[in-house]
Amino acid sequence: MTIQQAEQWIRAYLEVLSDDTKRGSRRDPSLLPAPKERLMKAIKLEMAQLFLLNSHSNEDLTKPLINAAIFIDSFSEIPLETCEFIESMHRRRREIESFYVELLKLDRADSFYWQRVYTILGIDVETKRTSFFQEIKQRFGLGARTENDDFHSRRPVGRLAID
Q: Is residue 139 part of a domain?
A: yes
Give the pLDDT band (50/70/90) at residue 146: low
Each residue of 107-117: pLDDT tens digit? Answer: 888 888 888 89
Would you say residue 73 lies in a domain?
yes
Say if 11 falls within a structural domain: yes
Q: Does the residue 45 lie in any domain?
A: yes
| Cβ atoms 69, 93 nearer than 8 A | yes
Task: Judge contact between 9 and 34, C-beta under 8 A.
Answer: yes
Indicate the DSSP class of residue 79.
Answer: P
- Residue 78: pLDDT band with limits 50, 70, 90: confident
Given this model, what pLDDT does residue 59 score? 78
CA distances, 16 to each of 22, 76, 103 (Å)? 9, 14, 28
Domain that residue 14 falls in: 3-143
Asked if the structure places residue 158 within a domain, the reply is no
Measured between alpha carbons, how far is 162 from 143 in angstroms, rounded to an integer? 38
Q: Is residue 162 part of a domain?
A: no
The number of folded domains in the chain is 1
How far apart, in whole angstroms, are the C-alpha atoms of residue 97 and residue 161?
A: 62
By residue count, the chain amounts to 163
